[in-house]
Chains A and B, each alone.
Chain A
Amino acid sequence: MREAFFEIIEGVTRHRVRAAATAFGVFWGIFMLAMLLGGGRGLRNGFERLFQNSAISAMWAEAGHTTKSFQGLGPGRKLQLEIGDIDALKKSIPELLDISPRQLLPVSESVRRGGRVVSLPVYGVYASFAKVEMTQAVRGRALNELDNERSRRVVIVGSRARELLFGDASPVGEHVGIGGIDFTIVGEYHDACSEDERRRIYMPYSTLVRSFDGGAGVQTITATIRPDADPQQVRASVLRVMGRRHRFDATDVAALDVFFLAEEFKRLQMLLYGIDIAIFTVGFGTLLSGMVGVSNILFVSIRERAREFGVRRALGASASTILMMVIAEALMLALFAGGLGLLAALGAIKGLQSLAIDSPLFTHPDVDGSAIAGALGILVVTALFAGYFPAREAARMTPIEALRQE
């Protein structure tokens, strides 16, 4: 075994420069494959983070303009959502859970704390909205149903809003003025998705309506849907119920924009699969070209060594011994160069990780164990192919044919 190993090393290293050039092709192939896989993972991590702080089952519905005539009403009407829609949807569509209105105060409203005034978006929501947006209370508590029932003058603030108003200090129990009304901060939440979402302030919907004369208007209806519900069927049900209430054609999808995160997530997953396939194709192609180099060089090598194979055959080596010897040389070259390429790629990815790139669409590139195992598997299989055909040519000659080669 040891003898065979040395024989293989000797075969590979006989022409060092040529072997090194060939090895570089394999090195580069596996390096590119691993880097692309790592980059693809970074891209996937970035995209998935976008969805991290919203329930995948979330539904958002916003008023649009009708595009179809209905019951004598012409197209182009702007819908006005109202709080009664929430109850109607809840009663008619059992697939809808955690339904909540979301109403934004006019942007002109500023938030005041002592002498500090900051322009921040303020929303009125039900307690159930936290399940749609998946906001996590990091200090104090979240809004609850009693806050809404009693129209309490309480708010929760995002972590960025807290920084702007209080610096590093805890805002819980503190007071802020919004539109000249005093509100008590009962909690602080964090949203990893974006800074924009961390600037928000939420108060009970009923408080917003009563305090700011918002009437019963609703800008957005939010909900989650049951995990087993089909978004398309739920959309049709929502349009049917809302169409009856607001007198528009239930097939007029422009009248009410009903958006399901699950559908977007599915589309994104398809995109990511597409990117994965593209990455794999490019990476595998690069590796394959390296392996074609190995195969070519082995073809050259076995022609040069034909007489050696003839001598070996004359002295007792069988054709299969020669076959295995050449394949083992291809494997050794590929595994050595590929192993180095993989190590270099892992080092480069670690380097990228230490740079802590935090783009909205790219974060924490990584290559997991299964990808490494896959890359090594591809390496071994392609090396076997790269070695097999030259090996077969070497083994096919009779001993005397091989001995007669110049």
Chain B
Amino acid sequence: MQDESNAGQNALIHVEGLRKSYHAGTQSVSVLNGITLRIERGEFVAIMGASGSGKSTLLNVLGLLDNFGEGEYRLAGQSTRLLGERASARLRNRLIGFVFQSFHLLPQKNAWENVALPLSYRNVSRRIQRKRAHEMLERLSLSHRADHRPNEMSGGQRQRVAIARALVTDPPLVLADEPTGNLDSETSDEVLRLLGGIHAEGRTVVLVTHELDVAHAAQRLIHVRDGLIDSDERLVRA
């Protein structure tokens, strides 16, 4: 019992009996029905499931973007159950990098300003922000696009900018929600290679997808069905 508890505290993500429902008028729809899950530091996990299975909701809760009803969620050993809004924002900024399906870049900002955005919530000087953002863009071979706005870039370039933004604060956890959903197969492969590289650096990557090919980029595959974990398997690379 003691060992199990310690293991829970050492895991980067430890979820126990997580429940969440949405209320529409007098009706209540359960989306997560008691999920228990542990993700260790350095894992690359893919979450799959049909539309409405609760996979994206689970990712949003893991990313502290959404709240939950019952259960417990410990992130890096810290309980998030009673976390205030400001503390949640701080944890998101320090521990999590997000990669969204539709990139979610701010259209009025150029590439480096988008990448630097998370640093602006850390009271980092503009000079340092610019330096770090340019370093990240260089790493992702996008230096030449640093001063371009999102509407001047291809889908793949936008997603690489979004990945640069997710990594600029050097977070231990990267959450990617359908990161290849809006990309062609060639660009998708490139993005998956990047996520693989991020994992290889020792970061934990959690990826939500409905494409099996994409999921196979991960080491571990979790199937969600009706708000519960249907299967949880280790993947062996060919």
Contacting A at CB under 8 A, from B40-71, are: 60, 63-67
With a cutoff of 8 Å between Cβ atoms, the chain B residues found around residue A316 in the complex are: 89-90, 92-94, 118, 121-122, 169
Closest beta carbon of chain B to A356's beta carbon, Å: 51
A3 and B66 contact, CB distance less than 8 A: no
A307 in contact (CB, < 8 A): yes
Given contacts A400-B60, A403-B65, contact A3 B120 (CB under 8 A): yes
B19 part of interface (Cβ distance < 8 Å): no
Tell me if B144 is interfacial: C-beta within 8 Å of chain A: no
For A371, list chain B residues within 8 Å (CB).
Answer: none
Contact mask B204-233 → A, CB, 8 Å, 1/0? 000000000000000000000000000000
Expressed in whole angstroms, the Cα–Cα distance for A395 and B60 within the complex equals 18
* Assembled-state Cα–Cα distance A315/B94 (Å): 9
B155-170: CB near A (< 8 Å → 1, else 0) gives 0000000000100010
Instruction: Specify which chain B residues have a CB less than 8 angstroms from the CB of A10 in the assembled complex.
Output: 108
Judge if B106 is at the interface, Cβ distance under 8 Å. yes
**CA distance in complex: A317, B177 (Å):** 20
User: Total interface residues on B, using CB and 8 Å?
Assistant: 28
Q: Which of B89-132 contact A (CB under 8 A)?
A: 89-90, 92-94, 98, 100, 104-106, 108, 117-118, 120-122, 126, 129
Contact B89 A318 (CB under 8 A): yes
Contact A2 B126 (CB under 8 A): yes
Q: Does A46 sit within 8 A of B, measured CB to CB?
A: no
- What does the 1/0 interface line of A310-324 toward B look like (CB < 8 Å)? 111111111111000
Contacts of B169 in A (CB 8 A): 316
A14 CB–B CB distance under 8 Å: yes
Q: Smallest CB-CB separation from A14: which chain B residue?
A: B108
* Most chain B C-beta atoms within 10 Å of own C-beta, residue among A315, A319, A398: A315
Task: Assess whether B104 is in contact with A403, with CB atoms less than 8 Å apart.
Answer: yes
Chain B proximity of A397: nearest CB distance (Å): 11
Instruction: Tell me whether B237 is interfacial, beta carbon within 8 Å.
Output: no
Contact A314 B106 (CB under 8 A): no
Task: Verify if A308 is at the interface (C-beta below 8 Å from B).
Answer: yes
Kindly identify which residue among B67, B90, B106 contacts A308, using a CB–CB cutoff of 8 Å: B106
Task: Bin chain A's interface residue count.
Answer: 20 to 34
CB-CB under 8 A for A313 and B120, given A14-B108, A308-B106: no
Contact call A3/B63, Cβ cutoff below 8 A: no
Contact B120 A314 (CB under 8 A): no
B104 touching A400, Cβ below 8 Å: no
Q: A314 to B66, Cβ gap below 8 A?
A: no
Residue A399 lies at the interface, judged by CB distance under 8 Å to chain B: yes
CB neighbours (8 Å) of A321 from chain B are 89, 121
Question: Which of A3, A398, A399 sits near B126, CB closer than 8 Å?
Answer: A3
> Inside 8 A of A310's CB, which chain B residues have their CB?
104
Is A399's CB under 8 angstroms from B65's CB?
yes
Given A3-B120, A398-B67, A403-B65, CB of A318 within 8 Å of CB of B104: no
Residues in B whose Cβ lies below 8 Å from that of A314: 63, 65, 92, 98, 104
Instruction: Give B124-146 interface residues, CB cut-off 8 Å to A.
Output: 126, 129
Interface members, chain A 95-145 (any B CB < 8 Å): none
- Expressed in whole angstroms, the Cα–Cα distance for A317 and B64 within the complex equals 13
Determine if B85 is an interface residue (Cβ-Cβ < 8 Å).
yes
How far, in whole Å, are A169 and B200 apart by their CA atoms in the complex? 106
CB distance from A84 to the nearest CB of B (A): 89
Give bound CA distance, A316 to B100, whole Å.
Answer: 15
* Chain A residues within an 8 Å CB radius of B121: 312, 315-317, 321
CB–CB B106/A400 < 8 A: no
Min CB distance A256 to B, Å, is 78
| Distance between Cα atoms of A246 and B172 in the complex (Å) | 107
Residues of A369-406 whose CB lies within 8 A of B:
398-400, 403
A319 to B60, CA, bound (A): 17
Q: How far is the CA of A320 from the CA of B87 in the complex (A)?
A: 12
Residue in B closest to A13 when the chains form the complex, CB atoms: B108
Q: Are B108 and A400 in contact (CB under 8 A)?
A: no
Q: How far is the CA of A319 from the CA of B65 in the complex (A)?
A: 12
| Residues in A neighbouring B104, C-beta threshold 8 A | 307, 310-311, 314, 403
**Given A14-B108, A307-B104, A315:B86 Cβ within 8 A:** no
- The residue on A at minimum CB distance from B109 is A10
Residues of B close to A400: CB separation below 8 A: 60, 65-66
Q: Which chain A residues lie closer than 8 Å to B86 at the CB level? A: 318-320
Is B67 a contact partner of A315 (Cβ separation < 8 A)?
Answer: no
Per CB-CB distance, the 3 closest pairs between chain A and chain B, nearest first, are: A316-B93, A316-B121, A318-B89
Could you name 25 residue pairs across A and B whose Cβ atoms are closer than 8 Å? Answer: A3-B129, A7-B120, A311-B106, A311-B117, A312-B121, A313-B65, A314-B92, A315-B93, A315-B117, A315-B118, A315-B165, A316-B93, A316-B121, A316-B122, A317-B121, A318-B89, A319-B89, A321-B121, A398-B66, A399-B66, A399-B92, A400-B60, A400-B65, A400-B66, A403-B65
